[in-house]
Structure 1
Amino acid sequence: MMTREDRLNVLELLPVWQLNVPHRHAIPALPQQALVENKGHEVAPSVRQCVSEDGNFTFLLEDFSTHAHHQEAEILLRNIFKAMRVTCGAETSLESTLALFESTSQLLVIMGERVANQILKQSYDVAQWRDLQSSQVFQYHTTPVIVTYAPAHLLFHRADKAKVWADLCLAKIIVSGS
């Protein structure tokens, strides 16, 4: 069994551990009529869905299998799951966001701005999503949503790992309070 320090050490977050309890306010539902218009001629990302075995979490992230550093990103993602004590069950690629309607998880964790903007039909970067969710909890239909950085991003922006861990702690708080 891993201790808290072991989990933080795996994520390389041991010196920056902080648990911020979120303020619970009214939870606005996001509009879901049309997809975000992509900036320029960007193609919508291929979305990878991972549902935890306990049914508490659904992780949505861009499929990074074609990324140059996909193996490192995959290891980092597995370490994130291990630190959260989450076992990823069924893992699928989503051809369409309509497949999300079948999700019965208590919380969606969206990793990466392109996926968040595609799913939630907005056009924010991750920093803007994080600022917004510090004061309110967003929803996709009736499921609460947390948006954070993608594993591939964390490979080159190590300082953002602490932000991801704070977001994941918020996710665990939301699930435990449900």
Structure 2
Amino acid sequence: MSTFHLKVEVNGMIHEADVEPRRLLADFLRDSLHLRGTRVGCEHGVCGSCTVLMNGQPIRSCTTLAVQAHDSIIETVESLQDDGELHQLQRSFSKCHALQCGFCTAGFLMTLKPLYDDLEVTLDATSAREAISGNICRCTGYQQIVEATVDAFECRSLDGNSQS
């Protein structure tokens, strides 16, 4: 089988590998780079558990081929911690009990990160629900996730800056 020489920056590190053209980005991240925070739930791009950032934009890694990420910058949930410190989104999810099994949490966090990083964006409960509408959680009923999202944005506003 033919392979493609992939070069991609993942969480600040350059990775090069020969991959089959049909290899999914989620599988490359999980199996080749051992970044297990990216979850594969539905395998159809519907649940959002596999969400990562590609060039700053949320994408579904279970429906994206690894070769499509060539020469791109990928951020996974593992990129959120900075020197062992949790990102404000992670702290708010913990504080507000916005996770139970945790399977979907990485997808929610990576969906919210570009919005959090944009200091122009503010989210209230209604806009938070809209922001996370593409992600599915089977455990929490969403109320705590909405509360955590609002809390993170309020904390960001109090701090006056974004912790990326």
What TM-score do the two structures reach when normalised by structure 1? 0.26
**Higher relative contact order at CA 8 Å, sep ≥6: structure 1 or structure 2?**
1
